[in-house]
With several copies, the nearest count.
Chain A
Amino acid sequence: MMTAHEAVERFVNDGDTIYSGFNIISFALTNEIIRQGIKGLKAVAGSVTPNVTMMSIDGNVNRIETGYLSGTLRSKPFQEMMRDGRVKWNDYTNMTITLRLMAGGLGMPFICANSFLGTDYLLEETMNHSRSLKEDRKREDGSIAPPYAVIDSPFDGRKALLYPALKPDVAIVHCQRADEEGNVQVWGPQADTKWGLWSSKNVLVTAEEIVPRSVIATEPHFTIVPGFKVSAVIHEPWGSHPSGLNGYYRADREWAGLTGAGMTTWHGAREYLDEWVYGTKDHAGYIAKYKARFGEDLLDNLRVKDTMVPEQPARYGWR
């Protein structure tokens, strides 16, 4: 157990490759990365999400490998940086990034998927366009490794398309619950989360609730990554706000409109970051500021009211 401040200070370094996925976003850790002014991160995920837009404004993130820019292009600053090369990238797909993370998690050098056969992803001008991540792919002998490659299968001679494993330096994620050892439990649509965490050297997790090990142990099927794999677990209620958390709260759809969190303009982005990120000490401060500004009700209205009860609970048993 530590604070988000300590976790980012200790485990996130300039230039790191960072996994921040898709579905359960830790805005608590995102904001802390911005506060600490970490520079030059490469963001990887099946889809990158609006927290990556925020992290690109001051250059926290300047490189991306993803299958989808989810919401990020609504930001004119982000569009501009992609155009002028302040942000560099190579394009993949939701599945191929997920499989690349899985390959990293499983200790494989690469993994196979058909996705780009017959498409323009295989053109040289796609793989090595002027704002692509060529530099990151430089081999010791100076040549550039391809971002993916076609070989003939040694088994049947047919074409096979290989994608290199992804092994991020650090992963950030918010989860429903964890224990003090860092056993991470998640439910709902999972996307690429599990392999984002297994593939990363350091895993930083904010948890909506910290529970005793016995809670974990009586539902061990919800654990997506065990404690020995987790570098820091941080208790952060509302840790994924303004995005949502299955079983706890819905996404705050008014937030971007209310505050400029959508990063649509340079000016709006600057104002949002100054007030809501640099202007708060930590996520508790951010939530306190939210309540003070908009009232407790607005936040409370996001809470999920109906939850699902198992109709006939599965029972483990061994004697």
Chain B
Amino acid sequence: MSINLDKYTRAEMMIIATARQVRDGESCIVGMGPPLLSAALAKYHHAPNMWYCTESGPLDWIPTSRELPAPIGIADHSLTQGSAMSGDMVDALGAFVNGGWAQSAVLQAAQIDRFGNLNTMLAGTFEDPIRRLPGTGGNADIGASVERVISTMPLETRRFKERADFRTTAGYIDGPGGRAEAGLAPQGPNKCATTMCVFGFDTEDGGTTGSCEMVLERLFPGVSLEEVQTTIPWKLKVSQDLTYMDPPTEEELVLLRHLDDGGNHLIPGRY
């Protein structure tokens, strides 16, 4: 099958950019939806020894056949394929995540704020919700304990907030020292991969010093700094090393489209 490399979507680039943040050999807790697809792409592409774990209990999915699409849900039965351990949520969220053994996480969210806090609860307020969302699932559990959080969501003004409408998942909270004051361990370096770019956060030590603000690190091909800034409601910090991200390789695109099984996963704007 020949792939037209010019014809990839920004949603596809988001999944690929997310996958590129996942490192080989690390243990990773993967959230439902696009994160499952991104992490599966990473596992097939450059991180075969990443421990791919989901919160319902399967630890270290290794697809034994490349015929199947990526798992859809965090309790997808196919996650048993090749897995090292078939546990439950006490094992996966309790021992693996809260116990401190998950080195990274891939999560989706409806909103992220300037300090990397995630929102999967609602738009608006509890008393006057614009929209109620499904809730945190395991995101709050993960934000409290996992070292390195990779979040992924389309770049849209309603999703990027100076302060999230509801902080379900602690990032750097209110800035430097926020995590320590709340009683949480350091976290980072966190990333947020979007449909236009990848952000990092301005803290060298996981939330103790630096501004802890979101920093633009990589632009996708064809996206301008202005286009990103227009979408973000605060004056965005830009990395001194801002560069363009490489476009998808043929291998990435072929794998992604196979794993996506005809578009079951790529549902940008679903929230």
Mark A residues whose CB is within 8 Å of B.
22-23, 46-47, 66-70, 72-73, 79, 82-83, 91, 93-96, 98-99, 102, 104-108, 113-121, 125-126, 129-130, 158-159, 181, 183, 187-195, 198-199, 213-214, 216-217, 220-221, 223-229, 244, 246, 250, 308, 316-319
Contacts of B179 in A (CB 8 A): 118
Q: Do A318 and B144 have beta carbons less than 8 Å apart?
A: no
CA distance A67 to B136 in the complex (A): 6
Please pick, from A83, A130, A244, the residue contacting B77 in the complex, using a CB distance under 8 A.
A244
* Chain A residues with CB under 8 A of B208: none
Q: B residues within 8 A CB of A195? A: 88, 90
Q: Give CA–CA (A190, B127) in the complex, Å.
A: 35
B56 interfacial by beta-carbon distance below 8 Å: yes
What 1/0 flags go to B115-147 for Cβ under 8 Å of A?
Answer: 001000100011101001111111111011100
Contact B84 A220 (CB under 8 A): yes
Given known contacts A98-B94, A105-B99, A107-B145, A158 and B68 CB-to-CB distance under 8 angstroms: no
CB distance A94 to B77 under 8 Å?
no
B141 proximity list for chain A (CB < 8 A): 93-96, 113, 115
A163 to B129, CA, bound (A): 26
A95/B82 in contact, CB under 8 A: no
Rounded to whole angstroms, the CA-CA distance of A83 and B130 in the bound complex is 10
Q: How many Cβ-Cβ contacts under 8 Å join chain A to chain B? A: 222
Residue contact B84 to A189, C-beta cutoff 8 Å: no
On whether the beta carbons of A98 and B98 are closer than 8 Å, the reply is no
* Complex alpha-carbon distance, A246 and B58, angstroms: 13
The distance from the CB of A212 to the nearest CB of chain B, in whole angstroms, is 12
Q: Which of A68, A213, A224, A317 has the most CB of B within 10 A?
A: A68
Among residues of B, the one whose C-beta sits closest to the C-beta of A249 is: B77
A98 to B84, CA, bound (A): 22
Q: Considering the chains assembled together, what is the distance between the CA atoms of A212 and B10 in angstroms?
A: 41
> B157-188, CB under 8 A of A: which get 1 and which 0?
00000000011111001000011001110000
A94→B93 contact, CB < 8 A: yes
**B150 interfacial contact with A, CB 8 Å:** no
Q: Establish whether residues B140 and A115, one from each chain, have CB atoms under 8 Å apart when the complex forms.
A: yes
Shortest C-beta distance, B97 to chain A (Å), equals: 7
Partner of B57 from A108, A117, A189, A225 at Cβ < 8 Å: A189
Q: In the complex, are the beta carbons of B121 and A91 less than 8 A apart? A: yes
Residues on the A chain within 8 Å of B127, using CB = 125, 129-130
For residue B47, CB closer than 8 A to chain A, the reply is no
**Cα distance A68–B78 when bound, in Å?**
22
By a CB distance below 8 angstroms, the chain B residues around A67 are 135-138
Neighbouring B residues of A91 by C-beta, 8 Å: 121, 135-136
21 contacts between A and B (CB under 8 A): A47-B137, A67-B137, A67-B138, A68-B137, A79-B132, A93-B141, A94-B136, A98-B89, A107-B98, A114-B183, A117-B144, A118-B182, A120-B168, A129-B126, A129-B127, A130-B127, A183-B60, A188-B77, A190-B89, A228-B51, A308-B80
CA distance A190 to B79 in the complex (A): 12
CB contacts (< 8 Å) of A227 on chain B: these are 51, 60, 84
Residues from chain A with Cβ under 8 Å of B134 in the complex: 68-70, 72-73
From the candidates B87, B97, B166, B168, name the one contacting A95 in the complex (CB within 8 A): B97
User: What B residues does A83 contact at CB under 8 A?
Assistant: 129, 132
Distance between Cα atoms of A187 and B77 in the complex (Å): 10
Contact flag A188-B144 (CB < 8 Å), given A118-B184, A226-B51, A246-B77: no
With A188-B80, A217-B62, A226-B85 as contacts: A94 and B170 at CB distance below 8 Å: no
- Whether A73 lies near B132 (C-beta < 8 A) is yes
Q: A118-B184, A129-B126 are in contact. Are A98 and B93 (CB under 8 A)?
A: yes
Residue contact B57 to A191, C-beta cutoff 8 Å:
yes
Check B213 for interface membership: any CB of A closer than 8 A.
no
A72–B135 alpha-carbon span in the complex (Å): 11
Q: Given contact pairs A118-B178, A118-B182, A228-B27, enumerate 19 new A-B contacts (beta carbons under 8 Å).
A: A22-B89, A94-B136, A98-B90, A107-B100, A113-B141, A115-B141, A116-B140, A125-B125, A125-B126, A129-B127, A189-B58, A189-B79, A195-B90, A213-B84, A217-B81, A220-B58, A226-B85, A244-B77, A319-B78
C-alpha spacing A46/B178, complex, angstroms: 28
B223 contacts A by Cβ under 8 Å: no
- Cα(A224)–Cα(B82), bound, Å: 16
**Interface contact B88-A198, CB-CB below 8 Å:** no
B83 at the interface (CB under 8 A from A): yes
B86 CB–A CB distance under 8 Å: yes
Instruction: Give B67's nearest chain A residue, CB to CB.
Output: A319
Q: Smallest CB-CB separation from B172: which chain A residue?
A: A118
Contact B80 A229 (CB under 8 A): no
> Which residues of the partner chain A approach B167 to less than 8 Å between Cβ atoms?
118-120
B137 A226 Cβ-Cβ under 8 A: no
| Most chain A CB atoms below 10 A, which of B60, B84, B170, B173 | B84
Assess whether B55 is interfacial by the CB under 8 Å rule: yes
Tell me the minimal C-beta distance from A219 to chain B in angstroms.
Answer: 9
- Residues from chain B with a CB closer than 8 A to the CB of A23 are 56, 75
Across-interface contacts of A228 in B (CB, < 8 A): 27, 51, 60, 101
A94 and B133 contacting across the interface, CB-CB below 8 Å: no
**Is B16 positioned at the interface, with any CB of A under 8 Å from its CB?**
no
CB of A99 within 8 A of CB of B135, answer: no
In the A-B complex, list the 7 residue pairs whose CB atoms are closest, starting with the nearest: A118-B182, A118-B170, A190-B88, A223-B85, A95-B93, A318-B77, A107-B98
